[in-house]
Amino acid sequence: MTDSPHLSPKIANKYVREKIENLLQGRDIYPLNRYGWTGPDTYDDEMIGHAIWQTDSLYFRFLDEHFSATHANGPAPAALEPWQQFLVTSGGDFEGLIEAARLSIGLVLFQCVTTERDHYAEDSLFQVHLISSMVLLGSASDRLRDLFIAAVFKKDTDQYVKDSIRDKKRHPTWYNAPFLEAAVFAREDALHGRESFALLPAFAYRIHELRELRNKVVHKTATELGRHQRDFAKKRVPDRVTEDFSYEEMIAYQSQLDADYRKRINDDVDTIVSWYELLIETSNHVFIIENTLRRLKSDTPK
């Protein structure tokens, strides 16, 4: 098969990008910087953390001071401490990974009508993008946790784990451990952002469940063909058609298999969409906490 003279990679890419953007908007899945606003200059009360992150993050302030020093003869910004550098890096990684995950989800939506029941993990771009989106969502979840640890505990994740093990605190490697610890810390110290501190443990527990589900779905999908072949190789008795064979029953059986398969597709799509939405809501509160603590303790470079 030769390439069509009218279908270049550039044209195909533009077509796919337009299609997936429409599909994503149809599921209310927007880029990270679209959250936090109800208009060009009007913030959204329910997503105020995103508006704050876009206009007053540690990186934004540090960049602004660099710009002032370069173009307005302002004072040189103070060097960021190691935990602040870790916070800035984690925040940037989260932004990049969540956008990559969003586009990957769009490709899942684009390809979900093409997958066939007999080849769930074979010769189907749907499954490739499903696995990719789950891996990206998992990585974005990890970077958001890193950002939270830096903002609250003023250390990177490795140091947080080491210190927690030394102090015999609750399983520090569990995804929701720092969120649970911080919620207690916030109550004891009566910090601002109390509502966000209180909400995050439940959000983190749900993210933990989705990360565990990711491992199961990815493994199940990637090894499905091999398991089918293994089961077939173990068969000792060949299938036989009985004399009372019913064509109607066979059609009904195949229809049920198709319905079960379509439900599986829909469930997998719903999982990644809900995971993305959960990360948007969780990050909203993480951003509120990061900004609140930085302002209270004057961590912004002078």
Could you say which DSSP state residue 76 is in? Answer: P
Q: pLDDT per residue over 216-262, tens digit each?
A: 776 666 655 555 566 656 776 776 666 666 778 778 877 887 788 88
In a domain, 244, yes or no: no
Q: Alpha carbon of 46 to those of 35, 50, 159, 166, 283: distances in Å?
A: 10, 10, 33, 39, 12
Domain range enclosing 117: 80-228+257-297
**Other beta carbons within 10 Å of 296:** 11
Q: Domain count of the chain?
A: 1
In a domain, 3, yes or no: no
Q: Which range has highest mean pLDDT (1-10, 131-140, 224-233)?
A: 131-140
Q: pLDDT per residue over 158-202, tens digit each?
A: 999 999 888 776 677 789 999 999 988 776 554 567 889 999 999
In a domain, 65, yes or no: no
* Amino acid 212: pLDDT: 86
In a domain, 281, yes or no: yes
In a domain, 170, yes or no: yes
Assess whether pLDDT exceeds 80 at residue 72: no
* Amino acid 191: pLDDT: 58
In a domain, 202, yes or no: yes
More confident residue, 39 or 215: 39
Q: What is the mean pLDDT of residues 88-99?
A: 97
Instruction: Give every CB contact of residue 165 below 8 A, 6+ residues apart in sequence.
Output: 172
In a domain, 33, yes or no: no
Q: pLDDT per residue over 199-220, tens digit each?
A: 999 999 999 999 988 777 766 6
The radius of gyration computed from the CA coordinates of the chain, to the nearest angstrom, equals 24
In a domain, 95, yes or no: yes
Cβ burial 268-284 (10 Å sphere, 16+ → b, else e): bbebbbebbebbbbbbb
More confident residue, 13 or 7: 13
